[in-house]
C-alpha cells in the first residue's frame, strides 16, 4: 500500500467502495490536479478503491457512471449520476439498480452521503451532466442548444439570453437553499462541508458562463448584453477569492477559472484559441492557480505544435516554483510528486527533551505551513555551517508561515545532544531518528549524504525532495513563490 509522502494522514490513503449483494455493477471515476481521470468498477464480487496519492485532491469527488439501454437500434444514453465526496479511510456500501437508475449509500458518515443523494435528486447535481444542453452557441441575445438525442435542425432549440439568465437565477436560488441546508446539517466533517460549499458555487458559476463558450470564430464576435456582463462581474469576486485555496483542496476551481478566461477572451472579441487563453490566464490570474490553469491550457495540444512549444518556453521562465507542471508537459518523471511507502512515515523520533513522537504526527501538525526539513548530523561541518542561513530564513519568513524542522541522523544520542548545545541561537525544532540505520524515511528519499533539504508546501506536497541549501539565494526565490 502506498502512502502520500507529505499529507500526514494516519489512515490508509484510499477510500473503499463495497457493492451490496444483489447490486448491479457500476463504474466510477475521479480526477487529480493534472486533470487525469482514474476509473474503476465495483460489484458484489469486487470492491472498488479510490486511491489518494500525491496528485489527488482531498476530499475528492467520485462520480458514478450508468447507462440506460434503449430499444434495439437506439444508442445507449448516459443518465444523471450521483457524486460522493470522500476522504482517505472512508468505506461506503453501494446499492445500485440499473433498470430504474436508483442508488443508495451507507457509511459511517451517513449525513454526508444523504446530502450528496439530495443534490443528485435536485436540478443542480455536482456531476454537471445535462443531456438537453450538450453544446451551446449564441448570438448577441440568443443561445441555441443542441440536443444530442436528435439530429439535424431538429436538434436545435433557441432561447433568449434573458430567459437563460432567469433560469440561471433559479439555479442560484436553489444552490443558496442547498448551502443553507448544508450549514444546518449536523455530522458533516469540516473538509467535506467546505468541499461541497465550493462545488455548489462553482457549479452555479459554470452554468452562468455556458453562453460564453463559442464553437466557431464567428461566435466569438458576439457582444453580451449589459445585464449578462453585470451578472458575471457580480458573481466573479467570490470565485476569484478561492485562488487562495491549496492545490489539494481546489478540485473544480481550475476548470471554473478556465471558463472565466474563455469568457474574457470573447469579451475582448478574441476567439479563445490556445494562445489567446494562455495569455489571458497569465495576465488575469495569480499564484498557484495561474500556473495550474496555464498548464491545463498547454496540456490540450501536442508539444510538436510550434505555438505550444513557444508558449512552453515562456511558461518555463515564470513558473519556477511549480516545475512539476513543466515535467508533466515534457513527459518527464516528477521527483516532487512521488508516492512513498507507508512505513516511511511511521519512523520514530526523539525530541531534544527526550519526548518520543512519529514523523507522521510531526508533519501533520505543520499542515498549512511551508516546511523545510533539514537533515544533518553532529559530525557534519557543512550541515552546521548552513544553520545560520536557515535561522535567517526563519526570521525572514516565519511570520508568513515557514517552519524549519531539524532532523538528525546521528547514531548516538549523546553526540547529538552535545552538538545541540553548540548550535546557533534560533534553531528550535530538533528531532533525531531513533534508528537511523533502519529508517524507512531515509531509504525512501535515498538520503546517503548530509546536509540534505526537503521542501514541502502548505498543502503538504513535496515541492523539492533535494532542495538547494539555505544559503543559496535561489531558495529565497522559491519560498517567495510558495508563501
Same structural domain for residues 23 and 154? no
Q: What does the alpha-carbon distance between residue 175 and residue 198 come to, in Å, rounded to a whole number? A: 11
Position 3 in a domain: no
Position 69 in a domain: yes
- Whether residue 450 contacts residue 383, with contact meaning beta carbons closer than 8 Å, is answered with yes
pTM of this prediction? 0.61
Q: Which pLDDT value is given to residue 20? A: 93
Domain boundary among 81, 101, 126: 126
Position 25 in a domain: yes
Domain boundary among 111, 126, 141: 126
Q: Which pLDDT value is given to residue 66? A: 58
Q: Which pLDDT value is given to residue 281? A: 94
Q: Which pLDDT value is given to residue 207? A: 82
Q: Which pLDDT value is given to residue 71? A: 42
- pLDDT tens profile 172-185: 888 888 889 888 88
Same structural domain for residues 142 and 65? no
When pLDDT is cut at 50, 70 and 90, the band that residue 118 belongs to is: confident
Q: What is the 3-state secondary structure (H, E, C) of 118-164?
A: HHHHCCCCCCCCCHHHCEEEECCCEEEEECCCCCHHHHEEEEEHHHH
Q: What does the alpha-carbon distance between residue 412 and residue 409 come to, in Å, rounded to a whole number? A: 9
Position 7 in a domain: no
Instruction: Dump the DSSP string for 189-215.
Output: -HHHHHHHHHHHHHHHHHHHTGGG--S
Same structural domain for residues 310 and 368? no
Same structural domain for residues 92 and 113? yes
- pLDDT tens profile 37-72: 777 888 899 898 888 876 678 888 898 875 444 344
Domain boundary among 337, 360, 382: 337
Q: Find the domain containing 31 and state its range.
A: 14-126
Q: What does the alpha-carbon distance between residue 208 and residue 202 come to, in Å, rounded to a whole number? A: 10
Same structural domain for residues 63 and 121? yes
Q: Which pLDDT value is given to residue 283? A: 92
For 194, other C-beta atoms within 10 Å of its C-beta total: 16
Amino acid at each position: 500500500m502506498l502512502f502520500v509522502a507529505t499529507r500526514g494522514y494516519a489512515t490508509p490513503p484510499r477510500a473503499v467502495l463495497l457493492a451490496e449483494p444483489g447490486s448491479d455493477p457500476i463504474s466510477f471515476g475521479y480526477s487529480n490536479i493534472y486533470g487525469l481521470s482514474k476509473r474503476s468498477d465495483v460489484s458484489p464480487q469486487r470492491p472498488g478503491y479510490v486511491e489518494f496519492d500525491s496528485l489527488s485532491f482531498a476530499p475528492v469527488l467520485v462520480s458514478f457512471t450508468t447507462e440506460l439501454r434503449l430499444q434495439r437500434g437506439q444508442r445507449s444514453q448516459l443518465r444523471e449520476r450521483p457524486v460522493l465526496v470522500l476522504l482517505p479511510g472512508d468505506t461506503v456500501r453501494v446499492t445500485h439498480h440499473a433498470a430504474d437508475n436508483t442508488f443508495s449509500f451507507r457509511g459511517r458518515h451517513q449525513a454526508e452521503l444523504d446530502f450528496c443523494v439530495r443534490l443528485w435528486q435536485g436540478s443542480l447535481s455536482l456531476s454537471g451532466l445535462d443531456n438537453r444542453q450538450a453544446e451551446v452557441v449564441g448570438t448577441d441575445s440568443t443561445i441555441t442548444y443542441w440536443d444530442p438525442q436528435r439530429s439535424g435542425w431538429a436538434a436545435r432549440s433557441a432561447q433568449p439570453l434573458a430567459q437563460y439568465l432567469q433560469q440561471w437565477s433559479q439555479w442560484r436560488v436553489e444552490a443558496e437553499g442547498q448551502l443553507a441546508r448544508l450549514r444546518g446539517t449536523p455530522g458533516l466533517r469540516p473538509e467535506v462541508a467546505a468541499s461541497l460549499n465550493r462545488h455548489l458555487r462553482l457549479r452555479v458559476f459554470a452554468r452562468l458562463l455556458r453562453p460564453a463558450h463559442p464553437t466557431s470564430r464567428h461566435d466569438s464576435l458576439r457582444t453580451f448584453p449589459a445585464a449578462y456582463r453585470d451578472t458575471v462581474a457580480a458573481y466573479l469576486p467570490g470565485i476569484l477569492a478561492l485562488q487562495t485555496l491549496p492545490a489539494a483542496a481546489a478540485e473544480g476551481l481550475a476548470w471554473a477559472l478556465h471558463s472565466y478566461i474563455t469568457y474574457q477572451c470573447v469579451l475582448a472579441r478574441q476567439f479563445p484559441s490556445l494562445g489567446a487563453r494562455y495569455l489571458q490566464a497569465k495576465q488575469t490570474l495569480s499564484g498557484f492557480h495561474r500556473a495550474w490553469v496555464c498548464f491545463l491550457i498547454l496540456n490540450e495540444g501536442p508539444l510538436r505544435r510550434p505555438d505550444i512549444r513557444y508558449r512552453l518556453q515562456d511558461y518555463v521562465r515564470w513558473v519556477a516554483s511549480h516545475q512539476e507542471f513543466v515535467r508533466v508537459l515534457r513527459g518527464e518523471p516528477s521527483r516532487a510528486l512521488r508516492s512513498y511507502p507507508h512505513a516511511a512515515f511511521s519512523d520514530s523520533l526523539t525530541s531534544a527533551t527526550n519526548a518520543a513522537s512519529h514523523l507522521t504526527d510531526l508533519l501533520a501538525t505543520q499542515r498549512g505551513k511551508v516546511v523545510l526539513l533539514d537533515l544533518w548530523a553532529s559530525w557534519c561541518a557543512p550541515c552546521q555551517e548552513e544553520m545560520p542561513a536557515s535561522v535567517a530564513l526563519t526570521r525572514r519568513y516565519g511570520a508568513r508561515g515557514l517552519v524549519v524542522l531539524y532532523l538528525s541522523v546521528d547514531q548516538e544520542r549523546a553526540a547529538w545532544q552535545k552538538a545541540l548545545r553548540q548550535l546557533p541561537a534560533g534553531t528550535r525544532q530538533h528531532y533525531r531518528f531513533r534508528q537511523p540505520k533502519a529508517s524507512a524515511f531515509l531509504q525512501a528519499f535515498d538520503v546517503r549524504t548530509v546536509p540534505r533539504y526537503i521542501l514541502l508546501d502548505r498543502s503538504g506536497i513535496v515541492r523539492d525532495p533535494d532542495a538547494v541549501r539555505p544559503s543559496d539565494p535561489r531558495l529565497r526565490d522559491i519560498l517567495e513563490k510558495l508563501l
